[in-house]
Amino acid sequence: MLYYLFRYLDQQFDVLGAGVFQYISFRAGLAALLSLLIAMIFGGRLIKLLQRKQVGESIRDLGLEGQMEKKGTPTMGGLIILLAILLPTILLARLSNVYIILMLVSTIWLGAIGFLDDYIKVFKKNKEGLAGKFKIIGQVGLGLIVGVTLFFSEDVVVRQYFTDHGTSAIDVGSSFADVRKMITTVPFTKNNELDYHNFFSFASPVLGSYARFLYIPLVILIITAVSNGANITDGIDGLAAGTSAIIGTTLAAFAWVSGNAIFADYFDIMYIPNTGELVIFCTAFVGACVGFLWYNSYPAQVFMGDTGSLSIGGIIAVLALILRKELLIPMLCGIFLVENLSVMLQVSYFKYTKKKYGEGRRIFKMSPLHHHYQKLGYHEAKIVSRFWTVGVMLAILTLVTLKLR
């Protein structure tokens, strides 16, 4: 909204300084600052409100050190994150941008599913919350919206340049075409663009004919997996929010270079018109996560609940899909992946050994993985800081894929 207001003031009245709102870098910095302030100011008030309403977390005793001390800590703090993302984005981004619209829909959609789950747990006193099948239906619904938009929208394009070998793609006089193709980035390869249609056609001519119907299930799978991964990671104070802030910063860098013709040419990556606007959303997302840590770092004054964890996971997945970096998710979201795998391995091995030996055995002392380290005697603050360190290392390695091929 402010973008349009200041553009109008600049064009119609030549108001001094109004033109600065045309710069993505300025609006991105402002979005980060505003989201931090919203999270910190609104967060304190929401915590007091939740305490008055007795919206406390019910804790199941798992035998973890310090666990029962958290009983009664306010939950549904994901509302802080949602507000700190949505308000700066609505104020500072170009709301006509298809990618911004998609991110706003994704944030609200998954936030609503998470809120409903938390509401049932807290106010209906049902520890199971929203039935798993309804969560899946909600995630599949969002996957359909995102997949159909990315595949069929006329505004979702990549720019292809036609130049002589060795000539810069953005040289004056070079020709180009904005095309609608489902191209993604393959890390650590020289010609690092993969066309899903060609990939499916190579696998089977029949599959190539149904590429669109195969791409959309892939989108659904990615959104569901990452949002559930973030949900599982949200088990100790500050872990999910801090990890997500690291991932969000990396995606902001990708949005910056992918949405800028000069940077895209320098790094020899695909230029995706209009994705530069996503830098504003990404910085608001990072600011919201960091601002939430003001209250969520050990010892936590509030938990994000599913309202926050499902949302941040879904946001990361949709951003990666828009920026054509979904194949980098296993690396960038390595923490989420390992947490997810630890649960899957633990459950599968327990069932297998119970069937084979009559007694279930475990790989880890407890899953997800962060609880395994708690059982080993590590303090949760140390676990979080070390997981963050690994997250930073993975983020750096992901960024290195821009040039390391």
Q: How many CB atoms lie within 10 A of CB 289?
A: 31
Residue spans of the domains in the chain: they are 21-57+71-327
Work out the pLDDT band at 51, boundaries 50, 70, 90.
confident
Query: 61-70, 104-113, 313-322, 344-353: which range is least confident on average?
Result: 61-70
Work out the pLDDT band at 162, boundaries 50, 70, 90.
confident
CA neighbours closer than 13 Å in the CB half-sphere of residue 405: 13
Residue with the larger pLDDT of the pair 193 and 162: 193
Q: Is 67's pLDDT higher than 70? A: no
Find how far residue 334's CA is from the centre of its chain: 13
Q: Under 8 Å CB-to-CB from 389, ≥6 apart: which residues?
A: none
And the tokens for 176?
Answer: 């180009």
What DSSP line would sit under 60-101, residue for residue? -----TT-GGGTT-B--THHHHHHHHHHHHHHHS-TT-HHHH
Q: How many CB atoms lie within 10 A of CB 5?
A: 12
Residue with the larger pLDDT of the pair 71 and 310: 310
Whether residue 228 contacts residue 255, with contact meaning beta carbons closer than 8 Å, is answered with no
% of the chain surpassing 70 pLDDT: 92
Query: 91-100, 200-209, 274-283: which range is least confident on average?
Result: 200-209
Helix (H) or strand (E) holding 158: strand 158-162
- pLDDT at res. 166: 55
pTM of the full predicted structure?
0.94
- pLDDT at res. 170: 65
Q: How far is CA 62 from CA 125, 355, 380, in A?
A: 20, 25, 15
Over the chain, what is the mean pLDDT? 90
Work out the pLDDT band at 169, boundaries 50, 70, 90.
low
